[in-house]
Amino acid sequence: MFGRFTDPAAQAFSALQHEPIVLYTVVAVGIIFFLVLVGITLFGWWGTLWRNWITTVDHKRIGIMYVILALVMLIRGFVDALMMRMHQAVAVGGESAGYLPPDHYDQIFTAHGTIMIFFMATPLLFGLFNYVIPLQIGARDVAFPFLNNLGFWITCSGAVLINLSLAIGNFARVGWLAYPPLSEVSGSPDTGMDYYLWSLQLSGIATTIGAVNFVATIIKMRAPGMTMMKMPVFCWTTLISNVLILMIYPVLTVAFALLACDRYLGMHFFTNDGGGNPMAYINYVWMFGHPEVYVLVLPAFGILSEVVPTFSSKRLFGYTSMVWAILVILVLSFLVWVHHFFTMGGGIAVNTFFSTTTMVIAVPTGVKIFNWLFTMYKGRIRLEAPMLWCLGMMFTFVGGGLTGVMLSIAPADWQFHNSLFLVAHFHHTIIGGVVFSYFAGFVYWFPKAFGIKLNRSLGICAFLCWFVGFYLAFFPLYILGLMGATRRLQHYIEPSWQPYFIIAMIGAFIIALGILCTVLQLLLAIWYGFMHKGILPVHENDPWGDARTLEWSISSPPPAYNFAIIPDVKTLDAYWAMKMTGSKRKKTDFSDIHMPSNTSAGFFAGLLSLILGFALVWHLWWLVALSFISIIAVIILHSFVSDHNGYYLSSGDVQMIEDQFTTYLESKGIQA
Amino acid sequence: MSEPIQVENHCIHDHDSTKIFGFWIYLLQDLFLFATLFANMAVFSASYDIGPSGRDFIDLTFVLVETVLLLVSSITYGFAMIQLHRNSLVGMQIWMTVTFFLGLTFIMMELYEFNHLIHAGAAPWVSAYWSSFFVLVATHGAHVTGGLLWMICMFVHLSWDGLNTNNRTRMTCLSLFWHFLDIVWIGVFTLVYLLGAL
């Protein structure tokens, strides 16, 4: 009846009893959660929250919810990072050095990696996809609005499940990709590994659902006249990134499912006995893991290809080569996975092959860097916050790429493998390449979503803190790696390492200041929304000036239906062409617009999948059966009620909404 | 959504073709899932450890019957789709029923086979070979079960709404799914059973 709760080995509440840090965190999170609930009730927001957000199928609102989830998880993952840096700065000596016991420290580095990749980067990515893609291709919504809602809620339940492990039971102590046999029952008998498996399976399912949606949206719903080679580069990168997701997430799903079979059913895939082979898991997981890097970084490249031309007031240099570089990366990204474990002992032929392909993949990436540089060349560059993030990205990412080429040399890799040099390298590419670009995109598209720009000074401060903080936090790790420090050290006995760890900690705190600046920016924006009682007034369509793509042709924030008239695209950079030809915005004569209805099925399916995950972790078999059957029942029920789904927004309503925008433009004297 | 479109709105124009396209994309994803399981089967194809080997237990005649059942069910589903294009609801329901029972028999035979294997000492926890065997075959079986469940839902949908656009799209997607499972089974039959029986 109570599954593993009655099993003392599962340590259901031991972290709360013996780890004051965990106890205080859980209490603090509980209080914040309670205050939020009280706030919502006092302001009477439950109705609007349910109607406008939880059950929404509007891609713009779902996009905003994804970004909020990602920012919350960023803070969670970043606190883990700060704790590790603070711990390592003082952890010289024995096991009792520092303030984190080994068991807790191991959980923290596992949670940090897992949360940052699966519950921070991926939701932020899908947030941007959701908000921007339909607007850029001139569509009124994504191909499958219900699936969009469902995917969000399953992601959310995955995130809640992984955070539940803080309070109830443990989290895994296995590193972010959970290599067996340590992650088998023999190495990780308690609930931590099961939290890991099921929360990531949920995230994987949601990501796959999202990818199906975006591939279908981009292929089938582009505005008339927008051929593939007239799509903005961000759409191209999104398409390829989602194709990659469709090809690699099944591999991850299988790898985790097989590991779960080992753990739950006593099978022998990755065990040391019974003919199992742990290296098989490591191969599967990196067949997923390496392309996943490109899933994250390709859209980052896409963001730069949007932001750099806007703030250079020039068209993107080398559009065609950009697209081909993306396609080449798609193919090559499948041919490099073994470079994550040259030390497997694959032999000279295997290592040489993967070493060479790894070096080759630097070529299309370099093409992109040159294209952005040539876009800026002789451009009229404006150093607004999004452009600063882009410049920081180009500078930093090239450096990260160079150390990547160092790691790709197999004999040298035997030295670098699992050292802090490696840790510094992948943070160099992921923070420098992915995080900086996503922030560029976030700041760039923020005024599209809310009508106002984020505070400029705070934005520049945020960038400078991240930029300086990054170099301070990670360059000492390169040096430490070369001095022989391995990753995931709970303590070390070499006192000459300590100064470097202290510098790295200072860097992490400077990054924390950057995050604080972003939080302040957001608080200012929330205050603005609060003053307008949540109904944001429309603002000009092109706040940055010189924007080139279709999302900037409609009001900020856009109306629910996006485009009153579906644009007719004739060239690349469709909105730029409209401005150049001086085509006028249509102000009357609108038709009725078909809109999809809201649905609560996604929310309930998400909630039930959280219960399912929790029941699987704690071996509550009756609850597993009950919640699984309920999920299927909800989806089937939805299929029966959704037939009569959708309604028409009358042309009168459309006229009213468009008139607001016309009035605003006229009041500002803008001709459009 | 089934009524003719009076408004200028390209997202509804081809909404059904978008759905079918989306389903193809889903199948692509599923194909990669099975590809990984096939690769896994190949990796562990000789990892018997102390357990029995494949050829000790694989009964090709039994599996051949299973195969024929599933292949015939694909043909009967094809007949159902022909009836759909002829707008014959009754004809379609008859062929769907035949398909359903063929699929059900297949699943029953598979369950019998699993039960038999486990009792005879070829259980999934015996060795990596049998772990891979069971996971691959059972994943296919779970998909077929899902297809059967989908068919039950389609019977209800069809009896409520008849052959409207939504149901036609659903039948087309289910058709893709069912044929896809057939193709995967050909892979299972070859790679797991024929090669395993060598």
Complete DSSP assignment for A104-123: HHHHHHHHHHHIIIIIIIHH
Interval A96-121 mean pLDDT = 93
Asked whether residue A153 is domain-assigned, the answer is: yes
Q: Is the pLDDT of residue B4 over 50?
A: no
A452 CA: distance to closest CA in chain B (Å): 30
Backbone angles phi, psi at A431, to 5 degrees: -75, -50
Specify the pLDDT at position A670. 75
pLDDT tens profile A253-311: 999 999 999 999 999 999 999 999 999 999 999 999 999 999 999 999 999 999 999 99
pLDDT at B11: 42
Chain CA centroid to CA A318, Å: 28
Q: Residue A465: is its pLDDT beyond 90?
A: yes
B-chain residue closest to A636, CA distance: B153
Q: What is the distance in angstroms between the Cα of B142 and the nearest Cα belonging to chain A?
A: 14
Q: What is the pTM of this model?
A: 0.95
Q: What CA–CA distance (Å, rounded) separates A91 from A102?
A: 11
Work out the pLDDT band at B6, boundaries 50, 70, 90: very low
Residue A640 near chain B (CB below 8 Å): yes
Say how many domains are in chain A.
2
Residue A105 predicted with pLDDT over 80? yes
A344 confidence band (pLDDT: 50, 70, 90) = confident
- Measure Cα distances from A265 to A184, A188, A251, B48 in Å: 12, 15, 20, 18
Give the residue numbers spanning the domain of A408. 402-537
SS (H, E, C) chain B: CCCCCCCCCHHHHCHHHHHHHHHHHHHHHHHHHHHHHHHHHHHCCCCCCCCCCHHHHCCHHHHHHHHHHHHHHHHHHHHHHHHHHCCCHHHHHHHHHHHHHHHHHHHHHHHHHHHHHHHCCCCCCCCHHHHHHHHHHHHHHHHHHHHHHHHHHHHHHHHHHCCCHHHHHHHHHHHHHHHHHHHHHHHHHHHHHHHHHC
Q: Return the residue of A nearest to B51 by Cα.
A: A274
Taking the CA of residue B127 and the nearest CA in chain A, the distance in Å comes to: 5
Residues of A in contact with B125 (CB under 8 A): 265-268, 274
Residue A92 bridge partners (DSSP): A492
CA distance A145 to chain B (A): 12
Q: Where are the domains of chain B?
A: 2-194
Q: Do A566 and B8 touch (CB under 8 A)?
A: yes
> What percent of chain A is modeled with pLDDT above 90?
86
Provide the terminal-to-terminal Cα distance of chain A, rounded to the nearest Å. Answer: 66
Q: Do residue A249 and residue B29 have CB atoms under 8 angstroms apart?
A: yes
In a domain, A84, yes or no: yes
Q: Does the residue A335 lie in any domain?
A: no
Contact A216 B149 (CB under 8 A): no
Per-residue pLDDT reduced to its tens digit, A13-27: 888 888 888 899 999
Contact between A267 and B11 using a beta-carbon 8 Å cutoff: no
pLDDT at A669 over 90: no
Q: Considering CB atoms only, which of A220, A275, A592 is closest to B47?
A: A275
pLDDT band at A229 (very low <50, low <70, confident <90, very high): very high
pLDDT of residue A672: 58
| B12, pLDDT greater than 60 | no
Residues 6+ apart with CB under 8 A from A377: A317
Report d(CA A325, CA A309) in Å as an integer. 18
Taking CA atoms, what residue in B is nearest to A561?
B9
Structure confidence at residue A363 (pLDDT): 92
Distance CA B124, CA A257 (A): 14
The torsion angle over the Cα atoms of residues B28, B33, B36 and B41, rounded to 10 degrees, is -120
Q: Is the dihedral of CA A318, A323, A324, A325 positive or negative?
A: positive
| Residue A3: pLDDT over 60 | yes
pLDDT tens-digit map of B38-71? 999 999 999 998 889 988 889 999 999 999 999 9
List A residues 547-586 in contact with B (Cβ-Cβ < 8 A).
565-566
Answer yes or no: is pLDDT of B8 > 70: no
Does residue A188 lie within any of the structural domains?
Answer: yes
Residue A647 φ then ψ, to 5°: -150, 170
Helix or strand or coil: residue A568?
A: coil
Res A438: pLDDT: 97
Q: Is residue A584 part of a domain?
A: no
A499 in contact with B, Cβ within 8 Å: no
Q: What is the pLDDT of residue A387?
A: 96
**Interface test with chain A among B2, B3, B36, B151, by most A beta carbons within 10 Å:** B36
In the predicted model, what is the mean pLDDT of residues A219-242? 95
Q: Residue A324 pLDDT > 70, yes or no?
A: yes
Q: What element of type H or E holds A91?
A: none
Which of A45-54, A499-508, A530-539: highest mean pLDDT? A499-508
| Closest chain B C-alpha to A276 CA, distance in angstroms | 5
**Predicted confidence (pLDDT) at residue B10 exceeds the cutoff of 90:** no
What's the rounded mean pLDDT across residues B180-186? 96
Averaged pLDDT for residues A77-92: 95
- ∠ CA(A90), CA(A93), CA(A96), 5° rounding? 80
Angle at A615 between CA A637 and CA A251, to 5 degrees: 80
Per-residue model confidence (pLDDT) at position A17: 85
pLDDT for A593-630, tens place per residue? Answer: 999 999 999 999 999 999 999 999 999 999 999 999 99
Best CA proximity match to A85, nearest among A49, A110, A109: A109
> Residue B162: its pLDDT value, please?
87
* Option in B11, B128, B132 nearest A221 (CB): B11
Q: Tell whether A532 lies on the interface with B, counting CB pairs under 8 A.
A: no
Angstrom distance (rounded) from CA A671 to CA A663:
11
Take residue A387 and report the two structure tokens written for it: 């452009």
Could you tell me the fold of the domain covering B2-194?
Answer: Four Helix Bundle (Hemerythrin (Met), subunit A) (1.20.120)
B116/B107 Cα distance (integer angstroms): 14
CA distance A136 to A232: 7
Euclidean distance between the first and the last CA atom of chain B, given in angstroms as a whole number: 54
CA distance B110 to chain A (A): 19
* Chain B residues whose beta carbon lies within 8 Å of the beta carbon of residue A181: none
Q: Is A268 on the interface with B (CB under 8 A)?
A: yes
In-domain check, residue A53:
yes
CATH of residue A83's domain is: 1.20.210.10
Q: Which residues of A touch B160 (CB under 8 A)?
A: 640
Question: A143 in a domain, yes or no?
Answer: yes
Question: Has residue B91 got a pLDDT over 90?
Answer: yes
* Average pLDDT score over chain A: 93
Q: Do B153 and A639 touch (CB under 8 A)?
A: yes
**Final residue of a domain: which of A184, A207, A223?**
A223
Q: What is the pLDDT of residues A552-597, one digit of tens each?
A: 999 989 999 999 999 999 999 999 999 899 888 888 889 999 999 9
pLDDT digits (tens, 9 = 90+) for A388-409: 999 999 999 999 999 999 999 9
Instruction: Choose among B11, B49, B166: nearest Cβ to A275.
Output: B49
* Overall residue count recorded for chain B in this entry: 198
Bond into A189 cis (ω within 30) = no
Pick the residue with more confidence: B184 or A670?
B184
pLDDT average, residue stretch A81-90? 95
Which of A216, A266, A643 is closest, CB to CB, to B125? A266
Query: What is the C-alpha separation between B27 and A317, in angstroms, rounded?
Result: 37
Percent of chain B topping pLDDT 90: 80
**How far does the CA of residue B154 sit from the closest CA of chain A (Å)?**
10
Q: Which residues contact B30 (CB under 8 A, 6 or more apart)?
A: A250, B143, B180
